[in-house]
Amino acid sequence: MVKDPAETAKIIELGEGFYVRQAVDNIAWIDLGEWVIVIDALEERSLEREVFQAIESTLPKRPIFYVLNTHTHYDHVALNEAFERRCGAKIVNLSNSQIEPEGRWFEGSHRRAQMLPLTGLHTNEDCVVWLPEDRVLFTGDLFGWGLIPTGRVTPDSAAQLEQTYQRMIEFDAATVVPGHGPICTTAELIRWVEYFRWLRDQVTARCQAGESDGQIRTALTPPADMADWWRFALWKHEDSVNKVLRSVRKG
């Protein structure tokens, strides 16, 4: 069996002064010039020492001004308090700050970051973070390696999903950092929307043709080119089939 790429934390350098600690939960620290922003703050408080050591060894003695949370689910905010306590960092997310629809810019002498609200799909407070100089996009949980980011698939949420993905794809990011698991590119965002449409079309047609849930689950195997997506064949594809089935059966 192939080893899970997120099982062991890995520090990836995406540019000068730009680091992502990739694991099941991802965190990034980025030098904008004379100061640093952090993106997302993990699930486990017990990682405090390890994370601060990693930051200090890669960006020694740089002040951390801001922690940007893509949203405030528990698995993105655990170290917020540690960043406040240790560095006096300001925590910025849509539950504690007002951010205009066109986004908020953080500008240093090396690079800029734009925090842009794309709400209403995963939660009502999701933001993506875009670093134009590096062409890196942080999606939070809007992209989940095959996971449908909304609890229920309805015509409204499907339309919302199309719109949200269009916005994310338009950045034409060279590197996409999801909230969880391996980093990827815009190609995966595009592929996933295609998959979502295909799944809805297939399930709808098969329900209309009178197939049972069991027949549909058996017929719809994970697409071959997505078989190695992170934890996709393991359970996410099945979860997506079930979500779409539930929504189609309800009408």
Interface contacts to Zn ion, rule CB under 5 A: 73, 141
Q: How far is the CB of 123 from Zn ion (least distance, A)?
A: 6
Closest distance to Zn ion from the beta carbon of 78 (Å):
13
Question: 25 vs 141, which CB is nearer to Zn ion?
Answer: 141
Cβ-count burial of 1 within 10 angstroms (0-12 exposed, 13-18 middle, 19+ buried)? exposed
For the bound state, the minimum distance from the C-beta of residue 189 to Zn ion, rounded and expressed in Å, comes to 17
Q: Is 180 or 206 the residue whose CB approaches Zn ion more closely?
A: 180
Q: Between residues 69 and 114, which has the closer beta carbon with respect to Zn ion?
A: 69
DSSP letter string over 24-88? Answer: SS-EEEEE-SSSEEEE---S-GGGHHHHHHHHHHHSTT--EEEEE-S---GGGTTTHHHHHHHH-
Identify whether the C-beta of residue 159 lies closer than 8 Å to the C-beta of residue 247: no
Contacting residues for 63 by C-beta, under 8 A, at least 6 apart: 34, 35, 36, 87
In the bound state with Zn ion, the residue whose beta carbon lies nearer, of 179 and 182, is 179
What minimum distance in Å lies between the beta carbon of 72 and Zn ion?
A: 9
